[in-house]
Amino acid sequence: MNRLMNRIWKRGGTILGLGLLALGLAGLPTVARAAGDAAKGKVLFEQNCVSCHGATGEGNGPVGATLNPPPRNFVKGEFKFDVAKDGKPGSDADLHNVIKNGAAAYGGSPMMAPWGFLGDASIDDLVAYIRTFKK
């Protein structure tokens, strides 16, 4: 019985250790992502983002006009979140993570819902397209 308990404890300790490692890694800054395809991002933006952010990216879509706070205006290129904690809000990694996890995950509006189901490559494409709005 003692031998069985030792095995269970060792496995439990390993699981606990891996869990703590995962929690520790979750707090690390995000890694820079590969550039996406703006043309593919445009298609995704038109399908998923225009209703709030508007066709011109100014945060003036038909649904966006009713929201408080209003959606982000991408033409201004001013971003709120520094998810990567690099002192530069609005990096590609920041935008990627806000799109993937939703703004509420970083203290923002829950109206910017998580879009993680799109997958990382598609989110990279969206980020590339969003970058085309800044004037």
Give me the tens of pLDDT residue by residue for the chain, a chain 135 residues long. Answer: 455 444 444 554 444 333 333 334 344 344 455 589 999 999 999 999 999 999 999 999 999 999 999 999 999 999 999 998 999 999 999 999 999 999 999 999 999 999 999 999 999 999 999 999 998
Residues 1 and 39 in one domain: no
Domain that holds residue 22: 1-30
Residue 33, pLDDT score: 54
- Give the integer Cα–Cα distance in Å for 122 and 127: 9
Residues 12 and 23 in one domain: yes
Residue 135, pLDDT score: 80
Tokens coding 44: 């995704």
Residues 52 and 19 in one domain: no
- Give the integer Cα–Cα distance in Å for 57 and 76: 9
pTM listed for this prediction: 0.74
Could you give the count of Cα atoms lying within 13 Å of 105 in the half-sphere of its Cβ? 16
- Give the integer Cα–Cα distance in Å for 111 and 119: 20
Residues 100 and 77 in one domain: yes
